[in-house]
Amino acid sequence: MSGEVLAGRHRIGKAFRFEAAHFLPGLPEGHQCSRMHGHSYEVVFVLTADRLVTPGFVTDFGDLARVKKLIDSTLDHRTLNDVLPVAPTSENLAGWLADWFVAHVEPSLPGRLVSVRVSETASSWAEFVLEER
């Protein structure tokens, strides 16, 4: 190793899973998503920091326990239409979770949120990426 410090930034990610149902109003008749249906969701929160804190963390993964509490109490085994203030698309869910995280979790962390990715299936996802802050 040369001893030089590479230019770059550390990122961490933490995934959470939950089960929920939803339907999307306003779609054409016969569209599969206009009917009530469910998904096994995965949500990934990505954080970064300008510098690591002891012992070398962006943020301690344990400090993200509040996210699991929100998911378990508000989203898991619910009808998302009943609990979200927006249409329950993956895009809107990612944005809603990012907004909640920045307001309720981020102020107590050394790291900051970069993005939230919501997957309804193993092959599709939507992501909300925060502007550089």
Given a cut of 80, whether residue 5 has pLDDT beyond it is no
Q: Which CATH class is domain 11-129?
A: alpha beta
Report the predicted TM-score, pTM, of the whole model to 2 decimal places.
Answer: 0.93
100 or 29: which leads in pLDDT: 100
CA dist 50 → 14, 38, 126 (Å):
19, 39, 26
Catalytic residue among 19, 31, 37, 77: 77
Given a cut of 90, whether residue 4 has pLDDT beyond it is no
Catalytic residue among 33, 39, 42, 91: 33
Please indicate whether residue 77 is annotated as part of the active site.
Answer: yes
Q: Give the confidence band of 20 by pLDDT, cuts at 50, 70, 90.
A: very high
Report the pLDDT value the prediction gives residue 22, as an integer from 0 to 100: 97
Query: What ranges do the domains of the chain cover?
Result: 11-129
User: Quick check: 41 and 72 in contact, CB under 8 A?
Assistant: no
Given a cut of 90, whether residue 112 has pLDDT beyond it is yes
User: Quick check: 34 and 23 in contact, CB under 8 A?
Assistant: yes
Please indicate whether residue 132 is annotated as part of the active site.
Answer: no
Report the pLDDT value the prediction gives residue 6, as an integer from 0 to 100: 79
